[in-house]
Structure 1
Amino acid sequence: MNVSDILIDAVKEGLQHIENAYQQNELPLTSKGTHTETALADLKVGHVVTTALRSRWKGARLLVEETAPTFVDLRAYDLVVDPIDSTRGLLHNLPGTGCAIVQLVNGVPVQSCIGQITTTSGKTRFLHDIICGCTGKNGSCFDGRKKERRYRASFRTAPNEFIVCVEMDAFDTSPKNFTDGFRIAEELMPPKGKARAIRMFGSSSFGFVAVSRGSLDIFTGSRKPWDYLPGIPLLIGSGASYFFYTDRSGNLRICAAGSRGALAYAKEVHLQAGMKILETDPVMLSVAASV
């Protein structure tokens, strides 16, 4: 069994466990931090996914979000796992909840699989969606259920309107969260009328998948390893672009763009907003998990 199949099978098991837990109301909440809440289901799904991975890849070194140390050296791991991306989104019936896994080689992401689950009518019907990406000379981005279906990001150079998605935490009620989230969205919506923003609530993988498929032009997200690493192979495999930047608070973030025009536009408005764009790709082999 190749690595791609291992990732797909593990994500499928994770999605099924998420659906079962949701339908059986097995998602009790526990407090973690002042303004955040998380589900114990993260640990349960993490156990299901890691068990599936270890049974198929003997000796694999896993970095799992819920059990990660404060500082990590990415070179020490083969796989990074986010059991439930946007746990709180699932609990509040928001779309885009996913399970994400990425393979690393010497700390660099080379292929990944992201599965997403969406309820269509309460608890009666679930849609499972799996997308995979790989880098390299023959990089690609494809449907994990039907491997023959390939995705390519949009290569429009001057669309009339860009669709922009900004990650923010809908359940963090602190004034800083809303101030920062809305400020970033507004900075990507100058009076020119060239952008229409979507404020996405909590799921980084949702943004990377949408850019890779060409349904979203620009996405900005956080730099936590399990949030952004699974998206890199999708972006490269689909022909999309990305860059890192520091916002005005000094936080390192990532911006993905699905076309050359969107990339130029995103860089322009970030610079106009006083943010610093990093021209080199800072693949940080040692990162703070809380960044």
Structure 2
Amino acid sequence: MTAAEAAADLAGGIIRPLFRSGLLVEAKGDASPVTEADRAAERALRAFLTERFPTHGIMGEEYGTERGDAEYLWVLDPIDGTRAFLTGRPLFGTLIGLLHKGQPVLGLIDQPVTRERWIGVAGQPTRFTSPMGGTAACRPCASLATAELSCTSPDIFDAAGTARFDRVRQAARRVTWGGDCYAYGLIALGLVDAVVEGTLKPWDWAALVPVIEGAGGRMTDWQGQALTLHSKGEVIAVGDAALLPEIVSLLS
């Protein structure tokens, strides 16, 4: 946990000065924007973690996987929510996850501008720190009819996924778009009840699982099964486990 926090501090020191500044932007193969902030932060994270844990593997969005068969695998997304970052909205975060034999055991969401940080460790309560105060604890919500549902964008689904997601959306009390990893942090604070998304990569979800579950929630694939490196990237996160069967049924 100490190393993950030190790594987040390091990344935050790189990202903050570049927020709302003029940046060179490229288009990746998937057309998502990349900035020097992404790359510089991931390079720093990789160097730091490799020095501290030379036998551990590292998987990152920008620079791929090293020692992917290692018992411990760090999974990094230096800026989850690059579009929010580029448009000056503090709804992005640095994600640092640690898998042990493929299972998420540590996760950190860091919002370097607002200085909010969620830290989850398997088997322990999630810890939240913020200048504004607050405590990580999901809230009860047993029905979609009373649920605040969130999703980054309707564009993340293919046609079949859109039809399936729409059944969940129509059953929910209200839907909020945008937020990327920040929306999952809001589940852990008891402000959002569910997130349903598709096409996520391991660096998008690995850090989130310990945070959500340490705050009392659940995070699975669309079949209600545990997420693994072989999952399709279809993700459900709920603050109240009682919501999960209803969402899985609507998605099936």
Secondary structure in 2 matching 1:153: coil
- Rate the CA distance shift 1:127–1:67 in 2: closer, same or farther, 3 A: same
Match of 1:282 in 2: none
Match of 1:221 in 2: 197
Q: 1:134 aligns with which of 121, 124, 136?
A: 121
TM-score relative to the length of structure 2: 0.82
Distance, in Å, in 2 between the alignment partners of 1:74 and 1:265 is 36
Aligned Cα root-mean-square deviation (Å):
3.1
Secondary structure in 2 matching 1:30: strand
Deviations 1:20-43 (A, max 9, x none): 122553x31012126433223211
Secondary structure in 1 matching 2:185: helix
Q: 2:178 aligns with which of 195, 200, 205?
A: 200
TM-score relative to the length of structure 1: 0.72
Q: 1:100 aligns with which of 91, 95, 98?
A: 95
Q: Which runs of 5+ in 2 are unaligned?
A: 224-230
Match of 1:32 in 2: 28
Q: 1:164 aligns with which of 146, 149, 153?
A: 149
How far residue 131 of structure 1 moved from its aligned partner, in angstroms, is: 0.6
Distance, in Å, in 2 between the alignment partners of 1:59 and 1:76 is 9
Distance, in Å, in 2 between the alignment partners of 1:141 and 1:81 is 19
- Rate the CA distance shift 1:50–1:80 in 2: closer, same or farther, 3 A: same
Q: How does 1:1-291 map to 2 (within 5 A)?
A: 4-22=1-19, 24-25=21-22, 27-33=23-29, 35-68=31-64, 73=68, 75=70, 77-117=72-112, 126-136=113-123, 139-144=124-129, 150-158=135-143, 161-168=146-153, 183=163, 186-190=166-170, 194-200=172-178, 203=180, 205-222=181-198, 223-245=200-222, 252-270=233-251, 275=252
How far residue 135 of structure 1 moved from its aligned partner, in angstroms, is: 1.0
How far residue 82 of structure 1 moved from its aligned partner, in angstroms, is: 0.9
Amino acid of the structure 2 residue aligned with 1:36: S
Work out whether residues 216 and 239 of structure 2, in 8 Å CA contact, stay in contact via their aligned partners in 1.
yes
- Rate the CA distance shift 1:144–1:5 in 2: closer, same or farther, 3 A: farther
- Greater gyration radius: 1
Work out whether residues 73 and 99 of structure 2, in 8 Å CA contact, stay in contact via their aligned partners in 1.
yes
Q: Which runs of 5+ in 1 are unaligned?
A: 118-125, 276-291
- Rate the CA distance shift 1:182–1:169 in 2: closer, same or farther, 3 A: closer
How far residue 159 of structure 1 moved from its aligned partner, in angstroms, is: 7.7
How far residue 164 of structure 1 moved from its aligned partner, in angstroms, is: 0.4
Amino acid of the structure 1 residue aligned with 2:94: C
Secondary structure in 1 matching 2:13: helix
Percent sequence identity is: 19
Work out whether residues 188 and 197 of structure 1, in 8 Å CA contact, stay in contact via their aligned partners in 2.
no
Work out whether residues 150 and 177 of structure 2, in 8 Å CA contact, stay in contact via their aligned partners in 1.
yes
